[in-house]
Structure 1
């Protein structure tokens, strides 16, 4: 996963109204429910055998090894409260938009006589719903981090650098060398 996809996943987790299950048994039960009862699909998702999943469900095992614990920590939030996450994303994509906070190097292509030296900036910018919708669609379609960076760069270019069309008409912004990236909606 890239920086932007990780940030979107963190923003999804912030939407939770309750904490996800903590015990391995409850976590595996949640995953089995999400996979419509298929222990084979859960095993594939966690990278363990189907029998291991069945042992946890039967109560024969209680403490997962590090690899399984890491897989549970990674996979459980993906299926926890899907309607809450979906509602927040829909709100961001239709009315609220998203807020991006980043520290990255921004490079520019601008007309002769203006500065085009790239430099590190820290920005907190609210992007309108159209950029949120494009970003969510790109994530669902499995877009690369570079493609999602392009969407974010375009949004920052139009909203922050060009100030909605009021200045810097011919400015092109490149979004590179991300030190920090966070999204909230």
Structure 2
């Protein structure tokens, strides 16, 4: 993912980058990924981590947190923690209505694609 980030930064026009960042921070974004995802649960549980295809909207506050982390020099692992927490909240916890206090596993990312707007 790091190499992709470098290529995008080199080619993406600075003003376009600023507009897209502002849009993601205001309106949120959609992540489409294939990764090992689930609660750290006993084997056989329906929420046991397994490879899943996920397409999920995440709010602007997540984009702000990701950009702030990147701007502060956070590595890919720290950004994955932010995504895991946000995906767990939106996907499994139904926006905070269930699954409180469970640890989310988000590993073995095969790909991740982000769309804004």
Question: Normalised by the size of structure 2, how large is the TM-score?
Answer: 0.83
Please identify which structure carries the higher helix content.
1
2:62 equivalent among 131, 136, 140 = 131
Please identify which structure carries the higher strand content.
2
2:34/2:51 contact within 8 Å kept: yes
Give the root-mean-square deviation of aligned CA atoms: 2.4
Aligned counterparts, 1:107-146, within 5 A:
107-110=38-41, 115=45, 117-146=48-77
Aligned to 2:79: 148
Q: Which runs of 5+ in 1 are unaligned?
A: 14-73
Going from structure 1 to structure 2, the CA distance change for 1:183 and 1:143 (only over 3 Å counts) comes to: same
2:40/2:49 contact within 8 Å kept: no
Aligned counterparts, 1:1-185, within 5 A:
1-2=1-2, 6=4, 75=10, 77=11, 80-94=12-26, 96-110=27-41, 115=45, 117-185=48-116
- The answer to which structure, 1 or 2, has the higher relative contact order (CA under 8 A, 6+ apart) is 2
Question: Normalised by the size of structure 1, how large is the TM-score?
Answer: 0.55
Going from structure 1 to structure 2, the CA distance change for 1:132 and 1:9 (only over 3 Å counts) comes to: farther
The structure with more radius of gyration: 1
Count residues with an aligned counterpart: 114
